[in-house]
Structure formats: structure tokens, C-alpha cells
Chain A
Amino acid sequence: MEIKVDELAGVKYTAKDFASDVDVKWCPGCGDYSILAQVQRSSPDFGERKENIVWVSGIGCSSRFPYYMNTYGFHGIHGRAGAIATGVKLANPKLQVWVATGDGDMLSIGGNHFIHLCRKNIDVKVIMFNNRIYGLTKGQYSPTSEKGKVTKSSPFGTVDFPFNAVKLATGAGATFVARSFDRDPKHLQDMINRAAKHHGAAFIEVYQNCPIFNDGAFSLLTEKETKPDNVIVLEHGKPLVFGANKEKGIKLDGLNPVVIDLSDGKNSVNDCWIHDEFDDNPTRVFLLARFSDIPNFPVPIGVFRQFSKPTYDKDYVQQISDIQAKKGAGTYEKLMYTTNIWEVR
């Protein structure tokens, strides 16, 4: 266990310090347990005192998260966690604000607040547990359920198309966009730590297994035998290669990604697409994000993109202090008596 020394206060934390005494009430085997554990393990590295951390949630299985964290917590309204977190951050910009949400909560009713949180680049970190199902209401399809999925509310298969959350967050302007798995603790911890260090709207999609209502939704991506051929790990400055022996790669042919065989002597690793997570232009992120929608393409995990842009909370505070520097701080008297006034006699 890593121990972080808080320079400001000399406080040493371990993962245990971030565990609350509330009994965790997810179903046995739920992927949420792992996400909670990885967050608790990563939290000592955030460099924040725990009283400066707030976890905000909406409604759903994932939204029980704040109860289990020994930080400040806010169990909010269905879909509104993004707006509530915005309120928290603006009221006290010194806080580190996190959102725990699900595909139902954030992408159904919460879609509107989510895109505006990204657009405004509010310094809030969102972890979205994507199990592709409504767990809390017992098994109806969600906005990330694959087309044709049979659920309690789609007994003959869904007819609507799912959201690709990475595309959505990127399109809406999130400045940090990543994906990970509940079953890959190390990778998930890495993503969480990097989101913690980012300033601006950060989004991590975590593929999470719901053993009760959508068991095995990601098993192809998480099982030892199938993972190498179906998952590609994005690393900055590294070529896009995958397969058990890194024998396959992705080449960019114009705007078309193609899978190439690196073992046939015709292609080499030098032909592969080199991942640049700081790319200003989001076009390649969309190409990468599309992999998960194309059959026989590996699903990318890792940081798709991160870039720096002024955050709403900083700019807002800055704007006020700039005006005050120019005009001096306002007072009640000035406000009341320097514009048009008249006396009623």
C-alpha cells in the first residue's frame, strides 16, 4: 500500500482511510466492488486531504458510492449529479469534486447536464460505471445496451442504437477522456490517478459487469484467453498493437483504421498508428472511439485524449477578480446608491 504524505498537513493516508463504516450493499460479484476498491487505493495519491474531496452521485446502483467513501458525499437526484457537482465546485472551487454515475443515470436523464459539464470544462471528474443495463430497477435496457438486446423492457430486442460514451464526452468537449475495466485493477487505478491530476472536465468510462442482470457483457474483453485479441491498450507515443504476442497492429489508411498482421513480413510496427493523447484535433479520438462499434476491431482502453483548456470555475473566479482590480471591490452602498436613484416623498 502506498502511503502519501500530504505536504500541507503532514497527513499520511492509506486506502483504509477512505473506506467508510457503511456496509456495502451491492450484489455479490458486482463489478462496483472493484471500482470502489481501486478508488480507495488511488485516493491517497491524490494529494488532497480527504475533507477536501466530495463524491457526488445521482440514482442507480453506482450512485451508492458516496456512502462507502470516507469523504464528503452527496447522493443527489436521478441524472442531476453533473449539475449538483457543478454547484459544489463553483460554491467552493478548492474542493476536489468527483461524480460516481452509471450509464442509465448519466446518459439517459442526465445526458443534458453531462454534455454541459463537459462543454463548460468544469473541473469535475466523472467515473461512469457502464454495465449496459438498468440494475437498480431490475434489468431494463439502458442507453448503452447494444442494439437488439433482450431485456425485461425489450423482450424482443431493443430497436434503438446505443451511445458511445467516449464519443459523446469528446464531442461535448471533455478535456480528459479515458476508458477502463472493473476487472483490470492496475489499469483502472492508473486512469483514476491521472483523472485526479487533470484540471477540467474529466471522464472515465468503466466497463462494469452486472452479474445479476447483464452477466458477461464484457467477458470477451476481460477473460484471459480472449482479452489480447479484443482489447488494445492506448499509451501515449506508442504504436497501436495488440494480440497475445503483439502480432497485430492498427494502421491508419487515410481516415480508415485497418488491422494489420505484423507477423507476415509485409507490415512492421513502424506502419502502426502512434497514439497521441495530446492531439489538439479530436478527429483521431473519434476514429479510436469507433473501434468498439466495428466488428473484429479491438476495444481501446486507456486515455483517449487529454488537453488543457481554461476551466469554467477558474475563469469565473478570475473574471470577478479582474473586474474588482479595475473597479475596486463592490459594496452594498455602491450598489444601492451609484445607479439611478430617486426618493419617494
Chain B
Amino acid sequence: MENKTNKNGDARLMKGNEALAEAALRANIDAYFGYPITPQSEVIEYLTREVPNRKEIKTVVLQAESEVASINMVYGAAGAGARVMTSSSSPGISLMQEGISYIASAQLPCLIVNVVRGGPGLGTIQPSQGDYFQATKGGGHGDYHLIVLAPASVQEMADFVFDAFKLAEKYRNPAMILADGALGQMMEKVILPEAGSLPKAPAPWATTGKPKDRDHNIITSLFIQPEEMEKVNLRLQEKYEAIQSEVRYEEIKTDDAEILLVAFGLSSRICQKTVDLAREKGIKVGLLRPITVYPYPYARLKELANQVEFMLTVEMNAGQMVEDVRLAVEGKVPVYFIGRMGGMILSPEDILHKVESVKEK
């Protein structure tokens, strides 16, 4: 899923939130609806600043009265066939869950960005990965999934906007970028995707009036008859099955690894350093980084379970993805966990220490 980048190398130093917003403009989004919340308010600020400056851009940017309003505006625009997105941070994403469930049921494409902060509750504005369960297991009510991409760099904050829309439109399903406060706020070099290089999938289902050649179409998530409701659910499940083929992950030094670290997003960046530190000491550590956390790379982890002594899952939460790793390896190897919460971040040395202490057991 390579994105076309500007041939002249449009490289800039940008904040993650701004790179994401710029990528959204280059993806020709029709609309953005959002509400300020730290640590992602730069997204709406960037968009409102940039849109009027660029003649070629016709994006609607609206600061809603709440996240509940934002997601329902997204629902409306998506139903009308627009390429539409919203962004928020954890408490705001919780507020959106009702709307997200309806959008998933009504099978509409859209992008929701969660720049995660520490929770539960109002929590802290510091980065966290505490929303993994919410993002990957549904979040709202009913049997549904989002397609979830977990960036680990400012580059990916930009790239995944394109990838997420591609997938959302291909499967008519809401997609999520699951970032965190650090990725949103940190500055890195980024090569921006080429503007206008993301063709829009046709949306014959959109509420664009009723042409003669089309059936009456009502966007709804209400199917009161159980037989019909089950059919809708089966169709959704079939779709999620097809989405499994979109799984993406990155492997670092797994060829000869005897110990495997599993981490996504910011934690995977820290783990890369741990891999190097461990190898300096002669401990063969590798890293698997899920890029999509839904769909999840269960199959690859199952294979790696035949090769390594144990796995260590590293997360900025109380241990959420570790459950998926355990599911994947089916008890073949022990799976350990190390994490910190509430906006605290592990150091590469903390992780190495954990590797060593498990090894000595």
C-alpha cells in the first residue's frame, strides 16, 4: 500500500497532528467535523487556517458543539457520499461511540482519528494506548469492527490518512487512526503524499436523490425483524472476514529472534531501541509491530510462536493487546507483559530489564 509521494520530495518538518491534517487536505476530504480537545486541537486549527488559503480546496471545516454532534455530522456527510473525517482524543472518542456504531451498521465509510490520552475518565493529556480495546473490539454496542491503523511516526500519521480512506471506501466501513498524544505533538521529517492522488471510490448508495435507474435508498441501522437483523449482521461478519486480508505488520530482526517483543505505535519505537540494546548484549530479540490492529496479525504471531522462547508485549496501558497476542499463540509460548499507564512512558532499558528478568526465570 505505497502512497505516491511528491516527486520533488515534499519533505517538511511537521507536528504529527499537522501532518495528518495536511494529508487530509491532500486526500481531498470533502468535510471535517470536530471539536477542540488536547492533544489534538491542532488538527482543526490547521484545517481552518489552511483551507481558505488554497483555491483548489473545497473542504468544509466545522467546529461542532460537541463530539456527539461531530460524529453525527460525519454520519450525515458520509451518507451523502462525502469523503469525511473527524478527530478527537479519548474522552471525545467515547462520546462518539453511539454514532460510530450506527455508521458501522449503516455501512458508511469515514475516518475517525483518536489521538489517545491517558484515562479512564477525563484522565490526563499525556499520551497513552489505553483505548486499544475500545478501538479494536468495537467500542460501541453491537457486533461491529472498525478498520484500525496504528501509526508509529509522523510520516505514518500522514500516510495512514490515505490508507484509511482507501480501506474505508473499499469496504464501506468506518476506519480509525489510533495514534497517541506523543505522535500528535512530536515533530519529525515527513514526506507528504501527493495532493489529489487518492481516487474516490464510487458511492452509488449515497443519498444523492433518487435517479430513475436506482432503487429507493434509505440509510438506516434499524432492522426490527430478527431475521433481517441477522442477515445484516451476517453481511457485516462476511465483510470483516474479507478485511482480514488487509492485515499489515512490520518485523524487525525476527529472522533469528529467540525472544519476540510485540508492540504497536509509540511503544514499538521504544522497543526498536531495546532490540538494539539486547543484541549488543548478545540476546537475540526481535520485534513485531502490528500496523493494523484490526485486522490483527494473529497468523504471523502463531508462526513466530514456533520459533521464539517467549513473547513480551509492551504497551502504554494495563495490558490490552497482550490478550490478542495470547489468542494468537494459543498457549505455545509464554506471553509476558510490561506497560505503564496514565501518560507514563517506558524506557528501552525498562523493557530490556524485563526481558532479562524473564529470561533468567
Check A153–B36 contact: CB distance below 8 A. Answer: yes
User: Which of A77, A79, A140, A143 touches B36 (beta carbons < 8 Å)?
Assistant: A140
Q: What CA separation (Å) do A155 and B36 show in the bound complex?
A: 14
- A314 on interface, CB distance cutoff 8 Å: no
- A164 on interface, CB distance cutoff 8 Å: no
Task: Point out the residues of chain A lying under 8 angstroms from B67, CB to CB.
Answer: 109
What's the interface size class on B, roughly?
Answer: 10 to 19
Q: Closest approach, in angstroms, between the C-beta of A235 and any C-beta of chain B?
A: 35
Check B66–A109 contact: CB distance below 8 A. Answer: yes
Most buried by A among B35, B49, B95: B35
Within 93-110 of B, Cβ neighbours of A (below 8 Å) are at 95
Q: A59-B122, A153-B45 are in contact. Are A109 and B68 (CB under 8 A)?
A: yes
Task: Point out the residues of chain A lying under 8 angstroms from B41, CB to CB.
Answer: 137-138, 140, 152-153
Within 27-47 of B, Cβ neighbours of A (below 8 Å) are at 35-38, 41, 44-45
Most buried by B among A75, A134, A153: A153
Check B49–A155 contact: CB distance below 8 A. Answer: yes
Within 58-91 of B, Cβ neighbours of A (below 8 Å) are at 63, 65-68, 91
- A108 on interface, CB distance cutoff 8 Å: yes
Q: What CA separation (Å) do A134 and B36 show in the bound complex?
A: 9
Q: What CA separation (Å) do A152 and B91 show in the bound complex?
A: 21
Task: Point out the residues of chain B lying under 8 angstroms from A108, CB to CB.
Answer: 35, 65-66
Q: Would you give the 0/1 interface string for A73-100, flagging 1 where the beta carbon is closer than 8 Å to chain B? A: 0010111000000000000000000000
- B331 on interface, CB distance cutoff 8 Å: no
Q: Would you give the 0/1 interface string for A128-172, flagging 1 where the beta carbon is closer than 8 Å to chain B? A: 000000101110110100000000111110000000000000000
Which residue on B lies nearest to A59, using beta carbons?
Answer: B122
Check A109–B44 contact: CB distance below 8 A. Answer: no
Within 109-137 of A, Cβ neighbours of B (below 8 Å) are at 109, 111, 134, 136-137
Check B48–A137 contact: CB distance below 8 A. Answer: no
User: Which of B37, B65, B66 touches A137 (beta carbons < 8 Å)?
Assistant: B37
Q: Closest approach, in angstroms, between the C-beta of A66 and any C-beta of chain B?
A: 13
Q: Closest approach, in angstroms, between the C-beta of B41 and any C-beta of chain A?
A: 5
Check A156–B36 contact: CB distance below 8 A. Answer: no
Task: Point out the residues of chain B lying under 8 angstroms from A79, CB to CB.
Answer: 66
Check B122–A140 contact: CB distance below 8 A. Answer: no
Task: Point out the residues of chain B lying under 8 angstroms from A59, CB to CB.
Answer: 122
Q: A78-B91, A137-B38 are in contact. Are A143 and B65 (CB under 8 A)?
A: yes
Q: Closest approach, in angstroms, between the C-beta of A130 and any C-beta of chain B?
A: 16
Task: Point out the residues of chain B lying under 8 angstroms from A143, CB to CB.
Answer: 65
Check B91–A111 contact: CB distance below 8 A. Answer: no
- B52 on interface, CB distance cutoff 8 Å: yes
Which residue on B lies nearest to A159, using beta carbons?
Answer: B62
Which residue on A lies nearest to B122, using beta carbons?
Answer: A59
Q: A59-B122, A153-B44, A155-B48 are in contact. Are A140 and B63 (CB under 8 A)?
A: yes
Q: What CA separation (Å) do A156 and B38 show in the bound complex?
A: 22
Q: Would you give the 0/1 interface string for B326-341, flagging 1 where the beta carbon is closer than 8 Å to chain A? A: 0000000000000000
Q: Closest approach, in angstroms, between the C-beta of A148 and any C-beta of chain B?
A: 14
Task: Point out the residues of chain A lying under 8 angstroms from B35, CB to CB.
Answer: 108-109
Check B44–A140 contact: CB distance below 8 A. Answer: yes
User: Which of B49, B52, B63 touches A141 (beta carbons < 8 Å)?
Assistant: B63
Q: What CA separation (Å) do A109 and B68 show in the bound complex?
A: 8
Check B66–A154 contact: CB distance below 8 A. Answer: no
Q: What CA separation (Å) do A230 and B92 show in the bound complex?
A: 40
Q: What CA separation (Å) do A155 and B63 show in the bound complex?
A: 12
Check B63–A153 contact: CB distance below 8 A. Answer: yes
Which residue on B lies nearest to A108, using beta carbons?
Answer: B65
Q: Closest approach, in angstroms, between the C-beta of A82 and any C-beta of chain B?
A: 14
Q: What CA separation (Å) do A138 and B44 show in the bound complex?
A: 13
Q: What CA separation (Å) do A89 and B244 show in the bound complex?
A: 51
Q: Closest approach, in angstroms, between the C-beta of B69 and any C-beta of chain A?
A: 8
Task: Point out the residues of chain B lying under 8 angstroms from A155, CB to CB.
Answer: 48-49, 52
Task: Point out the residues of chain B lying under 8 angstroms from A134, CB to CB.
Answer: 36
Q: Closest approach, in angstroms, between the C-beta of B96 and any C-beta of chain A?
A: 12
Q: What CA separation (Å) do A137 and B65 show in the bound complex?
A: 14
Q: Would you give the 0/1 interface string for A53-76, flagging 1 where the beta carbon is closer than 8 Å to chain B? A: 000000100000000000000010
Q: Closest approach, in angstroms, between the C-beta of B331 and any C-beta of chain A?
A: 41
Q: A111-B65, A140-B41 are in contact. Are A153 and B91 (CB under 8 A)?
A: no
Task: Point out the residues of chain A lying under 8 angstroms from B65, CB to CB.
Answer: 108-109, 111, 143
Q: Closest approach, in angstroms, between the C-beta of B92 and any C-beta of chain A?
A: 9
Check A156–B63 contact: CB distance below 8 A. Answer: no
Which residue on A lies nearest to B66, using beta carbons?
Answer: A109
Task: Point out the residues of chain A lying under 8 angstroms from B48, CB to CB.
Answer: 152-156
Most buried by B among A137, A138, A155: A137
Task: Point out the residues of chain A lying under 8 angstroms from B68, CB to CB.
Answer: 109
Q: What CA separation (Å) do A7 and B139 show in the bound complex?
A: 53
Q: What CA separation (Å) do A300 and B215 show in the bound complex?
A: 58
Task: Point out the residues of chain A lying under 8 angstroms from B44, CB to CB.
Answer: 140, 153
Task: Point out the residues of chain B lying under 8 angstroms from A141, CB to CB.
Answer: 63
Within 136-175 of B, Cβ neighbours of A (below 8 Å) are at none
Q: What CA separation (Å) do A154 and B44 show in the bound complex?
A: 9
Q: Closest approach, in angstroms, between the C-beta of A165 and any C-beta of chain B?
A: 14
Check B63–A137 contact: CB distance below 8 A. Answer: no
Q: What CA separation (Å) do A312 and B32 show in the bound complex?
A: 41
Task: Point out the residues of chain A lying under 8 angstroms from B52, CB to CB.
Answer: 155-156
Q: Closest approach, in angstroms, between the C-beta of B28 and any C-beta of chain A?
A: 21
Task: Point out the residues of chain A lying under 8 angstroms from B36, CB to CB.
Answer: 134, 137-138, 140, 153
Task: Point out the residues of chain A lying under 8 angstroms from B37, CB to CB.
Answer: 137
Task: Point out the residues of chain B lying under 8 angstroms from A77, CB to CB.
Answer: 122
Q: In the complex, given contacts A109-B95, A155-B49, what are 11 additional A-B residue pairs having Cβ atoms less than 8 angstroms apart?
A: A59-B122, A75-B122, A78-B91, A79-B66, A109-B66, A109-B68, A137-B36, A137-B38, A140-B44, A140-B63, A153-B45
21 of the cross-chain contacts (CB-CB < 8 Å) are A78-B122, A108-B65, A108-B66, A109-B35, A109-B66, A109-B67, A111-B65, A134-B36, A136-B38, A137-B36, A137-B38, A137-B41, A138-B41, A140-B45, A152-B41, A152-B45, A153-B45, A154-B48, A155-B48, A155-B49, A156-B48
The 5 closest A-B pairs by CB, nearest first: A109-B66, A137-B36, A108-B65, A140-B36, A152-B45
Which B positions have Cβ atoms within 8 angstroms of A?
Answer: 35-38, 41, 44-45, 48-49, 52, 63, 65-68, 91, 95, 122
